[in-house]
Structures are given as structure tokens and as C-alpha cells.
Structure 1
């Protein structure tokens, strides 16, 4: 009888320990899963915040350069008017690097299309500057700066505005979309 009590009581104690251990193990596993889920959510939130920051900086840069594009080579100039300047190259490179790192393929494609128009504007402005320098030095030029001015006013400015709007619309659509 005494042995039966010890055995039965011992089994009850061992059973209690096993049950406690299993419950503890399940709780630990559940806590681990919850912690991993919270880490994933925090990581996703940081990534989304980086995308938002990159897009905001890109929009500011694009608008600044867009203002430059709208002011470059006006039809009428007044002596002493300041010549608009592009943002510094390191700032442009930093923003474009952020977009390469965090931006979607659609935004990168729209940025590339917009950038091509800006490069054409810069080239046309360079051609006009070269013509002006040639006239100052030699009294004439072989560069048709009138054609370059016309190209800026009738083709490149409207194209820049259109590409800028497409880029801004894509960014707005992506920022409105819920992130997963």
C-alpha cells in the first residue's frame, strides 16, 4: 500500500512537471512567434518610411529642377536678372541613389524618362551659351541658337512638365496604396 501511494503520488508529481514544462514550452514558442512578427512589422514600417522619405526628397528635387526648366531661357530677359541654377550635383546624386535603393521600378522608369528631358534641356542651354560666347568673341556663330530656343519653348518645357506630372502621379499612387 505504501509503495502504491508513493508510485501514484510520484507519477502525479512527474505528470505535473511534464504538464508545466509543455505549457511553458508552448508559451515560449508563442512568445517567440509574436516577437518575430513584431520584428517583421517594425522592419516593414522602417522600409515603408524610407520609401516615403526618398519619394518626398525626389519630389522636392524634381520640382526645384522643374522650376529651373520653366525659367531657363525665357523669351524676354531683363539685364541683371539672376540666372536660375540647378541644385548641386551631390544633392541630385544623393536623392537619385535613395530612389534606386527604395523606389519601385515604375518610379525609377518615370524618373529616367524625366531625366532624359532634363538632359536635353541642359544640352540645349549649353548650345545657346556656346553661341553667345562665340558671338561675343568672334561676332558670329555657326550654332542656330534660335532653333535651340524654339526647341526649349515648344518641345522640351512641355515634355518636362508632362514627365514631371507622370512621376508625381506615380509617387502619389504608391504612397496612397497600403503597404503589406
Structure 2
């Protein structure tokens, strides 16, 4: 059976595709930063380097099937509970390690599915793939800077933000 090429696919052929090395470079840089954080800030991060590798393997393994489910029925099943249970069993009582494992194991997969969904929309809207990639990359950097700035501003301007004595008497 010979399929007829979609009109959108034909119109997108005029744009240059994203080089694979852009993705590999981004993966290498971010993975290196995460490994450095796990090794040199082990007291703050509380997660060993092998936990990061394990979380990335989980995200890699589940990204394709969950992307297929999302593409076919517009529902994205989550791995958040699975990743929380796994790290909770491996390292009980280490809350920061659990949150980091969830970020690397679940949130990276969820962001990859969202990234693919955005590219699908860009394909329908005939937006060049390189422009989509750069806008998403720059938007992520700007959002990260704003989030860290707001968090630091709160920590350094609100007096006694981390003190137990400012909580209401019956607060857990």
C-alpha cells in the first residue's frame, strides 16, 4: 500500500531540519552538569551519581511508549508515583534525593513528551523546526533564570521564612 504524502509534510520540506548534534550536545551538557551536582554537592542533593543514571534510564525507557499514548489519545500517563516509590524504597528518608530522582526520572520524560507535542503543533502551523527548537531552548533558559531569581528573592527578603516560630500553632 502506497501512502499519499500529507500536504503539511510536503510544505515542511522547504525548511532545514534540526541537526542531531544539537540534541546530543544539549544532552551531554545537561547530563554533565547533573553528574557534577550529584558528585560535588552530595550533601545538598542527597542522590548518588548512579541514582541519576537510573532515573535517566527510566525516562529513556518510558518516553517512547508514553509519547505514543499521548499522540493517539491526548492523555499522558504519569510516572511521578513510580519514581517516588522507587527512590523512596532505595533511599528512605532522603526527601531531596526523592525530589531529584522524580525530576530526572519523571519530569524529564514529561518535558520530552511536551516538547514533541509542541513540535507536532509547529508542524501543523508550518513553523520552521530550527526556530521551534531555539525558541523552546531560550524560553526554558529564561524561565529557569526567573524561577531561581524569584526563589532567591523570597529567601533573602522575607524575614524568618524558614523558621518554625512564625508558623501558626497547629500547623503541621
TM-score (norm 1): 0.29
Pick the structure with greater CA Rg: 1
TM-score (norm 2): 0.30
